[in-house]
Amino acid sequence: MTWHRSLYWRIALGVIGLLAVMLLVQAMLFVWVVSQSGRSLPGQSPGRLGLTVALDLTNVLEREPKVDLARYVQDQYAQYTHPFFVMMADGRVIMSGSHSFPEPLLRMARAQLQRRLDRPDGRRSESGDRPDLFGRGGDRFERDPNGFRFLRPSPILVYGRVVGVVVVPPQAPFGFLLGRFAPMLALVAGGVLILGAVLTSAMIFGPARRRLRALETAARRLGSGDLAARAPDRGGDEIAAVASAFNAMAVDLSARAEALAASDRLRRQLLADVSHELTTPVTAMRGYLETLRMPELALDASTRERYLTIISDETNRLERLIGELLDLARLEGGGGALQIEDLPVARLFDRVTARHEHACRAAGVTMERSIEPGAETVAGDRNRLEQALQNLAANAIRYAPPGSTVRLRSQVASVDSSERLALDPHVTRSSGAHGFQPNGVGVTLSVEDEGAAGIAPEHLPHIFDRFYKADAARAAEASVAAGSGLGLSIVRAIVERHGGRISVTSRPGLTVFEMVLPKRALA
């Protein structure tokens, strides 16, 4: 970046330019005020200056009649900040500087000098001509016929004769004062500008530049992949606000990157699990099929029938697994519309009991159900809620020891406002919008089993993950084959699509799955 494109330089030049303009305006105002006040000499009025100069020239001419009066005036009075001129009787006009005077003032001086020269013998005859160095009468102003206001000239008397007059304007001309004060004002302004630039750089631009440089460095680090890069956000100014926004963005990007990494790990794990689950039945089927196709191997009818039965079972298993995967993908992806209606809980429990009656009898397990007052209905899709309850019941029967009881319960649930989840936008509502009632009342549908081992605490946080199987001990205890690891994931997806939540608690001898759902469809 070139220097003239730098924000710091632009701001610095702008501040210095503004300071220079302010100093220039201040200097011009100072000169104008001095010119209007007529007080260009501290403690001395223009009239007193004229009397002082007249008396000095009188003394000089009496001592040295041949003196070069013009040189003397320039040497003695060139540094005075109030201009004046001397008009001599022989017509010479001696200026105190290079400044020119207005013509009305020159005419007035000639007239005053001529009036004094026209008196008898050119001598003073008025007390007013007597120099008054103490200014007891103050400055004496007069006006000519044209209204021009002027100070009465001070006469130069040599041995009592008027040889000239000293004329001092009441006000120093603006141009004269500007020329007098310009070098000093320029020097002061230059010093102030330099000091102001140094202080501005040290106190304003320096810290801002360092903080912006730190912000730039943090941005470059973040862009290069360093997600831990943070900018210093000290202070409460705009730079701190930008740094805070940058840090918030960095935190969000870091969280997103971690989520993407976790999602990628889950995706890889899912692919591995799916491949494993699909490969197991395919491998078994291939093995038995290759055995059946071996011509040199003579199989009796019973063995061949057993092999075909295993192939059929593995085919059914593969078909069921693929169906569950598709079902889970459809639920989690928002596909498939739910037909929400008010469902009698008793009817749901009846269908679950009837569906698993044979399995309960084979496992030596009884199934009980209970419905509390106020929890007779629940809002949901009939088929999907039945599917969720069927999965939970099948899971409970699988691990319930013989002689134990599997319980289906329906209870009134008090739902916190933070748990009143918004429903999926793809849901089709049969009776208008629905959800938890305004008073936060819902229904808890629970399935309990009395498995002796229960679920270990370290497995509980992952129990609803796809293909997660934490049932090795329970399966060994119950002497049953482990499931696909998708049933509980499907249950969670169904409950969440209904705007509810699902949880599990487990200890040796009791495992409880609870689904909290809306009580009624809201019109």
Phi and psi (nearest 5°) for 295? -70, -25
- Tell me: do 155 and 209 sit in the same domain: no
- Tell me: do 81 and 211 sit in the same domain: no
**Three-state secondary structure readout of 196-217:** HHHHHHHHHHHHHHHHHHHHHH
- Cα–Cα dist 126/149, whole Å: 22
- Tell me: do 396 and 428 sit in the same domain: yes
CB 389 within 8 A of CB 445: yes
The predicted model scores a pTM of 0.47
> The domain spanning residue 465 has which CATH number?
3.30.565.10
Q: Count CB neighbours of 156 within 10 A.
A: 26
Q: Count CB neighbours of 441 within 10 A.
A: 16
Query: Which CA distances in Å does 481 have to 449, 475, 490?
Result: 17, 6, 19
Domain of residue 181, residue span: 3-37+177-217
Written as six digits, the tokens of 297 are 């191997």
- Tell me: do 299 and 351 sit in the same domain: no
Q: Is residue 473 part of a domain?
A: yes
- Cα–Cα dist 488/392, whole Å: 7
Burial class (CB in 10 A: 0-12, 13-18, 19+), 124: middle
Strand partners, 414: 441
- Cα–Cα dist 212/240, whole Å: 10
Look at residues 332, 354, 375 and tell me which one is the last residue of a structural domain.
Answer: 332
- Check residue 35 and give its pLDDT: 56
- Tell me: do 429 and 501 sit in the same domain: yes
Residue ranges for the chain with pLDDT beneath 70: 1-12, 30-44, 81, 98-99, 119-150, 171-181, 201, 203-205, 266, 269-270, 273, 276-277, 324, 328, 330, 332-336, 415-440, 467-485, 520-523
- Check residue 371 and give its pLDDT: 92
- Tell me: do 435 and 346 sit in the same domain: yes
- Residue 36 CB contacts under 8 Å (≥ 6 apart), including other chains: 171
Strand partners, 158: 161
Angle of CA points 398, 399, 405, to nearest 5°: 95
- Check residue 513 and give its pLDDT: 93
Written as six digits, the tokens of 145 are 């016929």
Looking at the 3D structure of the chain, how many domains does it have? Answer: 4
CA dihedral 96, 97, 103, 107 (to 10 degrees): 10
Q: Is residue 224 part of a domain?
A: no
- Cα–Cα dist 272/264, whole Å: 12
- Cα–Cα dist 97/74, whole Å: 7
Q: Is residue 184 part of a domain?
A: yes
> The domain spanning residue 316 has which CATH number?
1.10.287.130
CB 93 within 8 A of CB 106: yes
Angle of CA points 427, 431, 435, to nearest 5°: 60
Q: Is residue 57 part of a domain?
A: yes
Q: Is residue 222 part of a domain?
A: no
- Tell me: do 181 and 248 sit in the same domain: no
- Check residue 476 and give its pLDDT: 45
- Tell me: do 327 and 342 sit in the same domain: no
Look at residues 309, 332, 355 and tell me which one is the last residue of a structural domain.
Answer: 332
Written as six digits, the tokens of 264 are 């990628």
User: For the chain, first and last CA: distance in Å?
Assistant: 64
Q: Is residue 225 part of a domain?
A: no
CB 131 within 8 A of CB 57: no
- Tell me: do 392 and 494 sit in the same domain: yes
- Tell me: do 203 and 141 sit in the same domain: no
pLDDT in tens, 107-124: 888 888 888 887 655 444
- Check residue 415 and give its pLDDT: 60
Look at residues 332, 355, 377 and tell me which one is the last residue of a structural domain.
Answer: 332
CB 521 within 8 A of CB 431: yes
CB 393 within 8 A of CB 357: no
Written as six digits, the tokens of 415 are 């739902």
pLDDT in tens, 191-205: 877 887 777 767 666
Q: Is residue 471 part of a domain?
A: yes
Q: Is residue 523 part of a domain?
A: no
- Cα–Cα dist 275/321, whole Å: 11
Nearest one of 294, 286, 290 to 314, comparing CA atoms = 286
Strand partners, 504: 513
Written as six digits, the tokens of 164 are 């000239």
- Tell me: do 367 and 489 sit in the same domain: yes
Q: DSSP per residue over 244-265, as a string?
A: HHHHHHHHHHHHHHHHHHHHHH
- Tell me: do 245 and 360 sit in the same domain: no
Query: Which CA distances in Å does 101 have to 88, 94, 147, 200?
Result: 16, 11, 17, 45
